[in-house]
Structure 1
Amino acid sequence: MNLQEYQSREFFKEFGIPVVEGAVASNREEALEIAKKIGLPVVLKAQVLVGGRGKAGGVKVAKTEEEVLKLADEILTMEIKGLKVKKLLVAKAVNILREFYVGFTVDRVSKRNVLIVSNAGGVDIEEVAKNTPEKIFKIYIDPIMGLFSYEAKKASQRLTEDMNIAPKIADIIEKLYKVYISLDGNLAEINPLAVVEGNNVLALDSKIVIDDNALFRHPELEALREPTEEEKLELEAKSKGFTYIKLNGNIGCLVNGAGLAMATMDLIKLFGGDPANFLDIGGSSSPEKVASAIEMITRDKNVKAILINIFGGITRCDDVA
């Protein structure tokens, strides 16, 4: 479960991580009211659950009240990577002196949580890892003992030797770890973590991804879920007894069994096609379930044909037919 930036900010504040002043708005009037309250200039940031908002024009600086209204209108009518912008974060613009990256995630190879820091903040951390891996520093965390204070200090001192700043970064690292563990996160990151005037250190962006398998421990978080249109389809499919994941192709797939479904998609790709979805109707079926699955596939306007691949066994082929 991905949290919106404005939601992640609230958890950061709850755990004592300093964030830039700001609030979320749903329309131009609310955006202007927030801007007046925190003072100009402000940054307007589209709240959508995808990366690359800045490159898509979803992050703008407004220096006047007129610009706030104009840019808020522009952003709230945008669609970024297929997602409509319904809210925007209005945050105080600050003078950035230095930018860092700080994050916690799960390392699948070592089977441990890992702290990742970099002095190349403000850019895609995957690109940094690919192009300049020497700028990445990692600490693998003991699953029983957790993060030690000396590890947070070590990481902060890899980012800066300025002892007016390093202790503040170490403190934020420890607090971010508490956010990550307390929420059963798969990811908690600050990018960028910025040094601003007065040697203050602020989280200018916030991202939290929560492990769906742990949501039963956090029922209060379900209220924060803002499903995309694709996620709504997946939830609808689940309620009807099958699994559906939308893809970008034009050949719909209706298959029984996850393994056969993936093999079917591989074959489509092998012969030059492009699957429009993953759809597993499961080990048992009914005509109603199959009809619902086909109806869901045909909602995708890109679909030109549907390939049905049923392994006769537990699933009755006459039901599917």
Structure 2
Amino acid sequence: MEIHEYQAKAILADYGVAIPEGGLAYSPEQATYRASEIGGEQWVVKAQVHAGSRGQAGGIRICSHEGEIWEAADELLGKRLVTHQTDARGKGVYRLYVEAAVASEHEVYLGFVLDRAAERVMVVASAAGGTDIEEIAANDPDSIVRVNVEPAVGIQSFEAREIAFAVGLDASLVPQAVHLMTACYRAFLDLDATMLEINPLAVTADGRLLALDAKMTFDDNALFRHQDVSELRDKSQEDPRERTANDRGLSYVGLEGDIGCIINGAGLAMATMDMIKQAGGEPANFLDIGGGASPERVLKAFRLVLSDEKVKAVLVNIFAGINRCDWVAEGVVQALQRLEVPVPVVVRLSGTNVEEGRRILAEADVAVITADSLAEAGARAVESIAGRAA
């Protein structure tokens, strides 16, 4: 789960990370009022969306007077911001964060990520602050500092000092840097985060370290332990299909292809998508219906997959262990009888009660294309689209 910049900053501030003074606004009038509360001579108006590179897309405006703030807010609110991290539709801007502009003398990148291979939290830092880490890795990979933290002891002061010096911070700033990194590590662990990024971390003229931007993501499977974090979820920033699936207990990721997939098990789903690609097609989604797929659950999955207008065929691939092929077959029949399914449906069943599942499909008055193997299922799904086009 992702959260907005202002939410991440509020969390980090609670842990002792210094941030510029700011406030949330939902209208141009609120934006100008926030600026008057903050005071000063310059302010930054930031679109709050779940995407990076907002500045390059026009989502961050520096303003010097009330009129500029009003105009920036009026233009941004309701706009769909398109960056290289969004699809062509972009993300809707429904709230703004107004904060005091900060003159920085130097900016660095600081991030904490979960290194699954090493089973450690990794600190990632670079002297090239204000730039996406992907760009830094491509343009100046040697500038990236990586440190795996030993989980038994957490981040140590000597490690934080080494990172601070490696990214070019002055010795006078090292105590602040140690405090900041320790605070970020604590927040990361305490809240079951999967990523924490401060970019840029600014060095101000008066010798302070300020988090000018912040981003955090969290482990969905651990949100039950953090109700306060769970409540920060902004469904307006999520893919409608993924939001619908999440609310119904399904694992769904939308893709750009035209073959809808209904599969049980993440590994089988990945293998199925590979087989579709091998056959010359493109998957429209990743959808794992889980191990206890009832007919009702299969019906929900069909509704979700068919909500994607790009889908030209549906591939149901089930390897039943805990699951049962007859349950899935009943769900497929219900979906074809109750829904308007204007595309070919390919079904491959294997495992528990497979013969009963195949019998249900054969005897039902519904149009399905059956397959015995994964390779055959992928090929038939691709062929069904080609056949309709012809």
What TM-score do the two structures reach when normalised by structure 1? 0.90
Question: In the alignment, does 2:289 pair up with 1:276?
Answer: no
Deviation at 1:279, TM superposition (A): 2.3
What SS does the corresponding residue of 1:165 show, helix, strand or coil? helix
CA distance in 2, matches of 1:12, 1:71: 27
The CA RMSD measured in Å over matched residues stands at 2.3
C-alpha offsets along residues 252-288 of structure 1, whole Å, 9 cap, x if unaligned?
2233444443333223323443222122334565554
CA distance in 2, matches of 1:241, 1:215: 14
What SS does the corresponding residue of 1:309 show, helix, strand or coil? strand
Question: In the alignment, does 2:299 pair up with 1:291?
Answer: yes
For this pair of structures, how many residues does the alignment match? 320
Question: In the alignment, does 2:111 pair up with 1:99?
Answer: no
User: CA 1:87 to 1:267, structure 2 compared with 1: closer, same or farther past 3 Å?
Assistant: same
Q: Determine the structure 1 residue equivalent to 2:167.
A: 159
Alignment gaps of 5+ in structure 2: 334-390
| Aligned positions of 1:216-295 closer than 5 A | 216-228=224-236, 230=238, 233-234=241-242, 236-238=244-246, 240=248, 242-283=250-291, 285=293, 287-295=295-303
Q: Determine the structure 2 residue equivalent to 1:10.
A: 10
Q: Which amino acid aligns with 1:46?
A: A
Deviation at 1:245, TM superposition (A): 2.1
Question: In the alignment, does 2:30 pair up with 1:30?
Answer: yes
Deviation at 1:57, TM superposition (A): 1.4
Q: Mean alpha-carbon deviation: is it higher for 157-166 or for 187-196?
A: 157-166
Deviation at 1:5, TM superposition (A): 0.6
Deviation at 1:295, TM superposition (A): 2.1
**Alignment partner for residue 325 of structure 2, among 312, 315, 318?**
315
C-alpha offsets along residues 49-94 of structure 1, whole Å, 9 cap, x if unaligned?
1122122211111122111111111111221333211111111112
User: CA 1:45 to 1:300, structure 2 compared with 1: closer, same or farther past 3 Å?
Assistant: same
Q: Which amino acid aligns with 1:44?
A: V
Q: Determine the structure 2 residue equivalent to 1:47.
A: 48
What SS does the corresponding residue of 1:198 show, helix, strand or coil? coil
CA distance in 2, matches of 1:113, 1:169: 18
What TM-score do the two structures reach when normalised by structure 2? 0.75
> Identity over the aligned pairs, expressed in percent?
40
Q: Which amino acid aligns with 1:21?
A: E
Q: Mean alpha-carbon deviation: is it higher for 111-120 or for 264-273?
A: 264-273
Deviation at 1:32, TM superposition (A): 0.8
Q: Which amino acid aligns with 2:307?
A: R
What SS does the corresponding residue of 2:231 show, helix, strand or coil? helix
CA distance in 1, matches of 2:182, 2:248: 43
Contact 1:286–1:320 (CA under 8 A) maintained in structure 2: no
**Alignment partner for residue 210 of structure 1, among 211, 214, 218?**
218
Alignment gaps of 5+ in structure 1: none
Q: Determine the structure 2 residue equivalent to 1:169.
A: 177
What SS does the corresponding residue of 1:57 show, helix, strand or coil? coil
Q: Determine the structure 1 residue equivalent to 2:92.
A: 84
Q: Determine the structure 2 residue equivalent to 1:19.
A: 19
**Alignment partner for residue 186 of structure 1, among 190, 194, 199?**
194
